[in-house]
Structure 1
Amino acid sequence: MTRLKQKYGLLIIGIALGIAYGLVTRLVFGQKATLASVTYLFIIPTILGIIPLMFADNDKLKSYKNIIFIPWLTVTTFFLTMFLFGIEDFICLLVLAAPFFILGTIGALIYRIVQINKQKSKGKLLTLVLLPFLFAPIEEYIKSPSDTYNVTSEVIIDTTPEKIWNNIVEVQTIDPKEYNSGFFNSIGIPRPISATVDKKELGGQRIGNFEGGLMFIETITEYDENKKVSFDIKIDPSTVRQKVFDQHVLNGNYFNFVAATYELTELKNGQVKLTLSSSYQLTSTINFYGRFWGDIILTDFQDRLLNVIENRCETKE
């Protein structure tokens, strides 16, 4: 044990300091430590990969296994700590995983090259830990672009347009047994429960109810019976759960649902193609990354909802 401490003691201290640094930055930045922050998503992971290696000797730095293992161990333990203390939800960590593991490794590799070849003072390199605190205020003054993205899903149903229409304008309560919950539902994405409409015409208000009490307030903007219905979407902020992911995304300033459209197309074989298109807006300096996850999660949601509608419409009365 003594020999182990002598050999790896400083490195273990470095890993512990890396984890502590990650927790401090997360707590200091608070709500600004979002999935749309360049500082939190790109700069901090890079530094997190560097800190433990500042306590490794050159022999350990020469091993490429250590360049991967040490940052990954640091990030994994950091994530586990945040999850256990309720600082981040599992879905948040899933979204953060790729940047933290990849950039942590890149940071470690850069440090290895610089330290072995240049023998830079570790004291000077430690000033890197201040970089997020210097860049974050600057990032706030950078105007974030707003982009709107569309996600489309479709299904072919062997039934009449009228029956489909009666299952999309209003949606009767969806029993958990008829909804094929998936991975994203299991880690926190709420499943749809029902939808009600006060009047089936332009200007009508449609209320979408989701698991956990979340409510979408939707205004009908296009209404062509048995053919097409569109509505704007607003989230009732008072119904957003206190979960970290929900507060980051649904009550944040960078993600907004915009609209949704159901469109029915009669096919020659007597079947009907039902298309569901949804649009959402991202406002950040890293919209490309938000879009990656937005498209995946929203496509999964739409496909599962259409599956419920298909099963309901094809059920023999």
Structure 2
Amino acid sequence: MTRIKEKYGLLITGITLGVAYGILSRLVFGQNATLASVTYLFIIPAILGIIPLMFSNNEKLKSYRNIIFIPWLTIATFFLTMLLFGIEDFLCLLVIAAPFFILGTLGALIYRFVQINKRKSKGKLFSLVLLPFLFAPIEEYIQSPSEVFNIKSEVIISSTPETIWNNIVEVKTINNNEYNSGFFNTLGIPRPINATVDIKAVNGHRIGNFEGGLKFIETITEYKENKEITFNIRIDSNTVRQKVFDQHVLNGNYFNFVDATYELETIENGQIKLILTSSYQLTSTINFYGKFWGDIILSDFQDRLLDVIEIRCEE
């Protein structure tokens, strides 16, 4: 034990301080520690990769294996600590994992180059830990662009337009044995339960109910019977669960659902192509990354919902 402490004591100290820095930054940033923050998603991971290497000698820095292993060990320990203490849930960590591990490694590589070739004072390099806290207030004054993205899913159904229409305007309660839950449902994305409508016409109100009590309040904006229906979407904020991911995304100010459209298109052999298109808005300086995950999660949700409708219509 003493031998391990002598050989790796400083490195363990560096990893511990790196984890502590990560936890501190997460607590300080609070609800701003999201996909909408350049500071949290890009700058902090790079610094997490640098901190433990400040406690390594140049011999260790020359090993590229250490440059990858040490930052990854620090970030993995940081993630595990946040998960165990309930600061983040697994889905949040999955979404931010790629930037953290990639930029943590990049930060370590830059530090290696500077320290070996320039031999900068480690005291000066320690001042980097202040960078996120200096940049974050500036980032708040940068106007974030808003963009609307569409995700389309479709299914071919052997049924009549009337039958399909009755299964999409209103959705009867979906039993567990009807819905094929997937990876994202296991991680906490709520599955649909049912949808009710008060008036089947433009300006009618449609309520979408989801697992865990989440409600979508929807207003019908286009209604062409047996052909097309569009409704805008507003989340009832009072029904959003206290889970970290739900609060970040559904009660945040950078992601909003816009609307959804069902279209029925008659194709050959009398079959119907049912198309579901959802629109969502992102408001951040890194919309491209939010779009990557938004498309994946919404596409998965839509495909599973259309599978339910297909089975019901062909019974």
Task: Tell me the TM-score range normalised by the shorter chain.
Answer: over 0.9
Tell me which residue corresponds to 1:210. 210
Tell me the amino acid that sits aligned with residue 235 of structure 1: I
**Aligned partners of 2:26 and 2:33 also within 8 Å:** yes
For each residue in 1:5-64, what CA deviation from the matched residue of structure 2 results, as whole angstroms up to 9, or x when unmatched?
111100000000000000000001111111210000000000000000000011110110
Tell me which residue corresponds to 1:17. 17
Report the 3-state secondary structure (helix = DSSP H, G, I; strand = E; otherwise coil) of the residue aligned with 1:172. coil
Tell me which residue corresponds to 1:113. 113
Equivalences for residues 157-306 of structure 1 within 5 A: 157-306=157-306
Equivalences for residues 58-97 of structure 1 within 5 A: 58-97=58-97
Report the 3-state secondary structure (helix = DSSP H, G, I; strand = E; otherwise coil) of the residue aligned with 1:269. helix
For each residue in 1:63-87, what CA deviation from the matched residue of structure 2 results, as whole angstroms up to 9, or x when unmatched?
1000010000000000000001000
Deviation at 1:107, TM superposition (A): 0.3
Report the 3-state secondary structure (helix = DSSP H, G, I; strand = E; otherwise coil) of the residue aligned with 1:176. coil
Tell me which residue corresponds to 1:133. 133
- In 2, Cα distance between equivalents of 1:2 and 1:241: 48
Confirm whether residue 28 of structure 1 aligns to residue 44 of structure 2.
Answer: no
- In 1, Cα distance between equivalents of 2:62 and 2:176: 54
- In 2, Cα distance between equivalents of 1:158 and 1:268: 11
- In 2, Cα distance between equivalents of 1:35 and 1:16: 25
**Aligned partners of 2:35 and 2:290 also within 8 Å:** yes
Tell me which residue corresponds to 2:38. 38
Tell me the amino acid that sits aligned with residue 5 of structure 1: K
Return the TM-score normalized by structure 2: 0.99
Tell me the amino acid that sits aligned with residue 277 of structure 2: S
Structure 1: runs of 5 or more not aligned: none
* Structure 1 runs, 4 residues or longer, greater than 4 Å off: none
Give the total of aligned pairs. Answer: 315
Structure 2: runs of 5 or more not aligned: none
- In 2, Cα distance between equivalents of 1:77 and 1:314: 50
Tell me which residue corresponds to 1:52. 52
Tell me the amino acid that sits aligned with residue 170 of structure 1: E
Tell me the amino acid that sits aligned with residue 311 of structure 1: I
Report the 3-state secondary structure (helix = DSSP H, G, I; strand = E; otherwise coil) of the residue aligned with 2:78. helix
- In 1, Cα distance between equivalents of 2:187 and 2:231: 28
For each residue in 1:204-249, what CA deviation from the matched residue of structure 2 results, as whole angstroms up to 9, or x when unmatched?
0000000000000000000000000000000000000011110110
Report the 3-state secondary structure (helix = DSSP H, G, I; strand = E; otherwise coil) of the residue aligned with 1:232. strand
RMSD over aligned Cα atoms: 0.5
**Aligned partners of 2:35 and 2:286 also within 8 Å:** no
Deviation at 1:164, TM superposition (A): 0.3
Deviation at 1:268, TM superposition (A): 2.3
Tell me the amino acid that sits aligned with residue 78 of structure 1: F
- In 2, Cα distance between equivalents of 1:301 and 1:176: 15
- In 2, Cα distance between equivalents of 1:30 and 1:268: 54
- In 2, Cα distance between equivalents of 1:57 and 1:42: 26
